[in-house]
Amino acid sequence: MFYNPYEALSNGRWLIGNLHAHTTASDGESSHQEVVDEYAKRGHGFLMISDHDTYASAELYDGIDTDGMILIPGTEITAGGPHLLHVGAGRLVDPDPERQRVVDSINADAGFAIFNHPNWQKRFDHCPQELLESCSGYLGIEIYNGVISRLEGSAYATDRWDMLLSSGERLWGFANDDSHRAEGDTGHGWNVAYVTDESPAGVIDTLARGRFYASTGVTITDIEVEAGHVTIEAVNAERIVAITDHGIRIAQADGASLSVDAPTRAGYLRFECWGAGESFAWTQPILFDR
């Protein structure tokens, strides 16, 4: 048995969304309405405002002109330890320094938890790997966080992700802006979700099931698992790489498509699609029994 997050994609459409954006309610430079307008202008289909230890509720969103964008209630749990997103929050949970308790509180409330920008800071250790390994019940990590590009550390964390996936964890990789500034912080990273129910609950459920990919500019047009083969097409990719346990590359192709045999001994198979400049798309892992 295996789990293919992209199984039977039908009756929906791909929506782009960022789950990590700050406003003047914490340390961002723009108001809620200005941030919403900025993402709507970029063609995003969903957005979560994630101010530090400040709850963006459905009631708050009621007062905003959404321009058709789906707004997800949430927060960024910041005080006391490594930062987490609470996506689809029903309330503000306590920023307990014991992060397992924060994850448990999130799961007892609504929505899900993501650990943010693991490779931020001088020693690339904002969220230590030991914590990611010992914590349970969170849904994923940010494998790309735009704002870290102009701060210490690395914006990328696919290294952390491969280590976790290799130990059998089922975790999804997210790409987010973490926008703070009015200029230059938006449109760097996003998630492309196959949504059939275009509501906050529908988007949250889609993300929870891994029916999305993370992107900084490359668009995936097809991913299919059939008769032991996995085929992927990404219209503006210049190279596609297939990666399994411990980060091993089992195949790559210079072009917009790649077809590989499903691995027989690996626990996961994921794809990186590399485009022009510094643009990528990262699929979620297709999970196999080892």
Per CB under 5 A, residues contacting Zn ion are 76, 83, 116, 178
Q: How far is residue 83's CA from residue 145's CA, in Å, rounded to a whole number?
A: 12
Q: Which residue's CB is nearer to Zn ion, number 115 or number 172? A: 115
Rounded-to-5 percentages of helix, strand, coil across the chain: 20, 35, 45
**Both tokens of residue 162?**
């491969």
Q: Which amino acid, one-letter code, is at 14?
A: W
Residue showing the smallest CB distance to Zn ion in the complex? 83
In whole angstroms, the minimum distance from the beta carbon of 85 to Zn ion comes to 8
**Distance of alpha carbon 197 from its chain centroid, rounded?**
19
Cβ proximity to Zn ion, 38 vs 76, nearer residue: 76
Q: Least Å distance between CB 136 and Zn ion?
A: 21
* Residue 287 C-beta: closest distance to Zn ion, Å: 28
Residue 264 Cβ vs Zn ion, minimum distance, rounded to whole Å: 39
153's tokens: 């550390």
- Please report how many Cα atoms fall inside a 13 Å half-sphere around the Cα of residue 224, on the Cβ side: 10
Q: Which residue's entry shows tokens 């927060």?
A: 75
CB closer to Zn ion, 48 vs 234: 48
Distance CA 3, CA 285 (A): 9
Nearer to Zn ion, 169 or 178 (CB): 178
Question: What is the distance between the alpha carbons of residues 245 and 263, in angstroms, rounded to a whole number?
Answer: 10
CB closer to Zn ion, 115 vs 161: 115
Residues 6+ apart with CB under 8 A from 285: 165, 268, 269, 270
State the nearest-atom distance from the C-beta of 147 to Zn ion, in Å: 7
Q: How far is the CB of 175 from Zn ion (least distance, A)?
A: 14
> Quick one: 22 or 270, whose CB is closer to Zn ion?
22
